[in-house]
Amino acid sequence: MSDGKYIYYVYADIQVNANNARVHIESHDPSVTTYTISSTYCNPSDLSTEEYAVLVQASQTSAAKVYFPTPFLGTFAYTHNDGSSTTCGSGSVWDVCTDRQIMTVNYTQCATKQFFSTGGESYCVYYTSSGSTYYTTVLNTDSTVDFSTTYRFTCYAVTSSGSTVYASDSKGQCERSQSPTTKQSDGTGTMVFTPYVTCPFTTDEPASASSLGLIIAIVVVLLLLIIAVIVGFILYKKFKGQHKTMHQTLRENQEKVSLEELSPRDATAIDIPEKKQLEPISVPVANGVETSTCGNPPLPPIRH
């Protein structure tokens, strides 16, 4: 069923000569070397829902917990009838609301031992149902059990009528046709519960661990997608704003250039370089030196 926890049925008919145990008995025949398992050995005719058994690895007791079925989800006052007398009653406390996977009884209010436990605490490890009756197996959390007055497992047949809950117990596993209102041969008696408060789920059991993990994963993925969409939208708006601003700037620049076109006068205006004073040029003449202040070549000397 899970790591460290197993639920199983014994697929054999009840044998009267084997103390009414479910077991297949046959004489040994050395000539038989093959066996037809499905038709001969694992084909009971009357196996009932409540006749399951539970195995839990010692190191996995806490991990084996599951939620109790709806009738047990509450904090109750209870009476216990062992077939001859009734104990507990007003002021007694049977609690499955503090933790809906853990059943506790307060031995201060009522000392009658429940689920074969000296500590008064047990875990729900499995339940199944048939009609309105739930067959529920609890694991005694005592550090040790002696298999005489204390046992590791107890199975309850439990049902409800209105707000009142009825249950019978059986050590080890449920008995065949176990009734919530009838004391079993290996049980301590019958209980009647009156709730102080109830704490049911909307269904008998919330999502299993694997289903819960899947739901959490889906929620996380959806949150990431929502965040991605929001971030994408913000980036889109930011990019769109920048893109719009860039186009607006280009358009304004184009309009500015159009408004600042050159006038005809500006188009014909040319800057004329400033006139530069030329250096005088000395030209030799016969009687001395003639100085010219222009750039024309000197006149030839006049001959007489």
* pLDDT tens-digit series, residues 193-208: 999 999 998 755 454 4
Confidence of residue 280 (pLDDT cuts 50, 70, 90): low
Q: Look at 174 and 12; give whichever has higher pLDDT.
A: 174
DSSP sequence for 77-141 = EEEEE-SS-EEEEEEEEEE-SSSTTEEEE-TTT-----TT-SS-EEEEEEEEEETTEEEEEEEE-
Burial of residue 187, with CB atoms counted within 10 A of its CB: 0-12 exposed, 13-18 middle, 19 or more buried = buried
pLDDT of residue 36: 76
pLDDT of residue 15: 82
β pairing state of 74-81 and 86-95: antiparallel
* pLDDT tens-digit series, residues 69-114: 999 999 999 999 999 999 999 999 999 999 999 999 999 999 999 9
pLDDT of residue 169: 98
- Mean pLDDT, residues 39-48: 80
- Mean pLDDT, residues 40-62: 89
What number of CA atoms fall less than 13 Å from residue 286's CA on the CB side?
Answer: 6
pLDDT over threshold 70, residue 246: no
* pLDDT tens-digit series, residues 135-160: 999 999 999 999 999 999 999 999 99
